[in-house]
Amino acid sequence: MTTSDDSPLYPPIDPYTSGMLAVGDGHEIYWEVSGNPDGQPVVFLHGGPGGATNPDQRRFFDPDGYRIILFDQRGCGRSTPHAASPGADMSANTTWHLVADIEALRTHLDVESWHVFGGSWGSTLALAYSQKHAERVRSLVLRGIFTLRKAELDWFYEGGASALFPDWFERYVAPVPPQERGDCMGAFHRLLHDPDPSVHGPAAVAWSTWEAATTSLLIDDDSITKFSQPEFALAFARIENHYFVNRGWFAEGQLIEGAGALADIPGVIVQGRYDACTPAATAWDLHRAWPQAEFVMVPDAGHASTEPGIARALVAATDKMAAMPPR
């Protein structure tokens, strides 16, 4: 099967099976499988943290060649309990819980090893999973590299990116009292967990739309509309902020320093040259630490996987990985 003439992605498909998997701590994660039941298994790790799966994510993979596995991470999408629920408890929602969930899903679906695909936060999770379970990873396709180092978080959430988006940054910090703007992530943590909807609601929308407004080379109004929906925004903002104030439960620089564990894993790193959310310096640092991976700098793109140049590069990468013999 080939991609359609007007899109770099494969045509839309529906799942042939789906379900909920209990992963402990009262959490159940939604999962689905599409494509070829006998194809090479690939797991898609969505962004955020706190985003969710959507039908277009299936389209990065040739459905004739891949068994395509998507799931919603803890607290978001169709997984339960939802982070927007009153009194939602985040204590059992960490990077290492998610890494364990990926392994639980692999076992549940009777997968021996699989290709791993992740962009933005999904690249973080893919790196964490692959460094811990390298023997289960056939290949890695990563986009918009994000490793939660302090400089990366400070750039986007504490003012660095305001040099490019001063209008949207002003909207982002609007809910934060001026005296607290020296630690925006900490201030948002307080606001997002305030029980008063008139406090946590506007804070969630401000946090979420800041990301939506800055992900693509040109402003995507549809993305801003989606990210400003109150229930989505609250779950997204609460989970992201929870992960970021805790630095992902990583030591500083851990994922770059641990990249030697990936040496035997085929990989492709796709990065937009003008990515304002996860600037190219991080992708380059990973490339230097993992030189065995192919590095693709897309010259006319920002962060979003929906940008044509990035989408084309990702489809080319998954096609390439499907053609490789299992390691």
Known catalytic residue at 275: yes
The 10s digit of each residue's pLDDT in 23-66 is 999 999 999 999 999 999 999 999 999 999 999 999 999 999 99
Looking at 189, 208, 275, 305, which residue is catalytic?
275
Q: Taking 60 as the threshold, does the pLDDT of residue 3 lie above it?
A: no
Instruction: Tell me the C-alpha to C-alpha distance, in Å, between residue 160 and each of 125, 139, 187, 213, 217.
Output: 24, 33, 17, 15, 17
Q: What is the CA radius of gyration of the chain?
A: 19
Instruction: Compute φ and ψ for 12, nearest 5 degrees.
Output: -60, 145
Q: Which residue has the tokens 């290492």?
A: 96
The 10s digit of each residue's pLDDT in 305-317 is 999 999 999 999 9
Asked whether the beta carbons of 28 and 77 are under 8 A apart, the reply is no
Looking at 120, 123, 139, 305, which residue is catalytic?
120
Q: What is the CATH number of domain 17-149+250-323?
A: 3.40.50.1820
Known catalytic residue at 300: no
Sheet with 114-119, edge to edge strand ranges = 17-24, 27-35, 66-71, 40-45, 114-119, 137-143, 267-272, 294-298
The model's confidence at residue 324, banded by pLDDT at 50, 70 and 90, is confident
Looking at 46, 115, 200, 303, which residue is catalytic?
303
The 10s digit of each residue's pLDDT in 237-283 is 999 999 999 999 999 999 999 999 999 999 999 999 999 999 999 99
Domain(s) labelled CATH 3.40.50.1820 in the chain stretch across: 17-149+250-323
The 10s digit of each residue's pLDDT in 101-127 is 999 999 999 999 999 999 999 999 999
The 10s digit of each residue's pLDDT in 171-216 is 999 999 999 999 999 999 999 999 999 999 999 999 999 999 999 9
Question: What is the Cα–Cα distance from 56 to 9, expressed in whole angstroms?
Answer: 8
Asked whether the beta carbons of 224 and 172 are under 8 A apart, the reply is no
So what's the pLDDT on residue 5?
53
> Which among 149, 173, 150, 177 is positioned nearest to 162, based on CA atoms?
173
Mean pLDDT of all residues in the chain?
96
- What's the pTM value of the predicted model, to 2 decimals? 0.96
Report the amino acid identity of residue 179: Q
Known catalytic residue at 303: yes
